[in-house]
Amino acid sequence: MPTRRQYLQHTLRHSSLTVMTALWAASGLWPELTWAYEKSAFEAQSPANVYKALGLPMPVASKDVWLTAPEIAENAAVVRLSFGCTLPNIRRMMLLVEKNPADLSAMFTLTEWVEPNFTTTVKMAQSTDVFAVAVAADGKAFFAKKEVKITLGGCG
Amino acid sequence: MVEPMRIRTQLAGDKLTVRVLMQHDMESGQRKDAVGKIIPAWHIQDVTAQLNGRTVLQAEWGPAVSKNPFLQFVVKSVKVGDKLSLNWKDNRGDSRTDEVTVS
């Protein structure tokens, strides 16, 4: 027969676990998935949902983030984008293409031995805004955006 | 078939500019084949760069990165003789690692 103390301890432990499980499920933030490939972010269909999936605040427009993209892309299958940030302590940089089937194209996790300065090539479904987002060590997020027009076969 | 990466490096002072070309189809998962069936996504998911065995950069990619992806980045505090290795893994579990010595 359990004593009163044992009974209370058991109940407390059990109920707090239930509450936490419910909270995790509601927020979609299962702690053990934090370091895995961020599948939900790569499936998100708007920039706002990407930031939400990654637990980031809405980024603010900043002159310290730069993005170089062609104004008109002749080949939408290979659009070369360069982006970077001049602020210190940047921990993460992301590239988003707004009207693609999934917005997040690439995400870079930086260390102190690499500069926030990248170039890569992406596919684009249609003419739209491209975002470069930089996340600092204190969790603040900044962005730069640029519109890229796609020509279909050069005579659309 | 996993092809080797083409890696070019350029050292200016102690900053190393790295340019990489990876050979990969990067199938988006949006296209359909001749009978209208969706071709499943097949793309590089993780890219890791290491300098002398220490991870300096990690990247996660979605299917929107182009076919045969190009990547350029800059590593700090590099000297001649350092070893830079690059690794990619795709969503089917294939992977490729290539190493270059900085000259």
Spell out which chain B residues touch chain A, with contact meaning CB-CB distance below 8 angstroms.
15, 26, 28, 30, 45-46, 49, 51, 54-67, 69-77
Q: Token match 């065995």: residue?
A: B53
Dihedral sign for Cα A46, A52, A53, A59, please.
Answer: positive
pLDDT of residue A18: 52
Confidence of residue B6 (pLDDT cuts 50, 70, 90): very high
Instruction: Please tell me the predicted confidence (pLDDT) of residue A54.
Output: 93
Among B67, B88, B62, CA closest to B25: B67
Q: Say if residue A16's pLDDT is above 70.
A: no
pLDDT for residue A33: 36
Cα–Cα distance measured from residue B84 to residue B96, given in angstroms and rounded to the nearest whole number:
14
Pick the residue from chain B with its C-alpha nearest to A113.
B76
Nearest to residue B100, comparing CAs of B13, B3, B10? B10
- Answer whether residue A29 shows pLDDT above 80: no
Q: What is the dihedral of CA A51, A110, B96, B22, to 10 degrees?
A: 80
Structural domain count of chain B: 1
What mean pLDDT do residues A4-9 have?
67
The pTM for the full model equals 0.82
* B32-to-A79, A80, A104, B98 alpha-carbon distances in Å: 22, 25, 22, 33
The tokens for B52 are 């002398």
Pick the CATH number of A37-150 from 2.60.40.2470, 3.30.1490.390, 1.20.1740.10, 3.10.20.340: 2.60.40.2470
B30, B63, B66: residue with CB nearest A78? B66
- The residue ranking higher by pLDDT, A18 or B94, is B94
Residues in B touching A86 (Cβ below 8 Å) = none
B-interface mutation test, from A82, A108, A117, A124, most B Cβ less than 10 A away? A108
Contact at CB, A123 and B65, closer than 8 angstroms: yes
- Higher confidence at residue A119 or residue A16? A119
At position B101, the amino acid (one-letter code) is T
Contact assignment for A42 to B60 by CB distance below 8 Å: yes
- Residue B25: inside a domain: yes
pLDDT confidence bin for A2, thresholds 50/70/90: low
Note down the domain range covering B58.
Answer: 6-30+38-101
CATH code for the domain in which residue B93 is found = 2.60.40.10
Confidence check: pLDDT of A3 > 80: no
| Residue spans per domain, chain A | 1-34, 37-150
Q: Is the pLDDT of residue A19 over 80?
A: no
* B1 domain-assigned: no
Please, are residues A145 and A67 in contact by the beta-carbon 8 Å criterion?
yes
Strands A65-68 and A79-85, sheet pairing: antiparallel
Residues in chain A: 156
pLDDT value, residue A25: 52
Burial of A70 by CB count in 10 Å (0-12 exposed, 13-18 middle, 19+ buried)?
middle
Q: With a cut of 0.90, is the ipTM above it?
A: yes
Please write the tens of the pLDDT for every residue from A35-54: 457 788 999 999 999 999 99
Reduced to 3 states, what is the DSSP secondary structure of residue A78? Answer: coil
pLDDT greater than 60 at residue A87: yes
The three state secondary structure string of A25-71 is HHHCCCHHHCCCCCHHHHHCCCHHHHHHHCCCCCCEECCCEEEECCC
Q: Quick check: A99 pLDDT over 80?
A: yes
Query: What is the reported pLDDT for A9?
Result: 65
- Out of B26, B46, B56, whose CB is closest to A114? B56
Distance between CA atoms of residues B6 and B12, nearest Å: 20
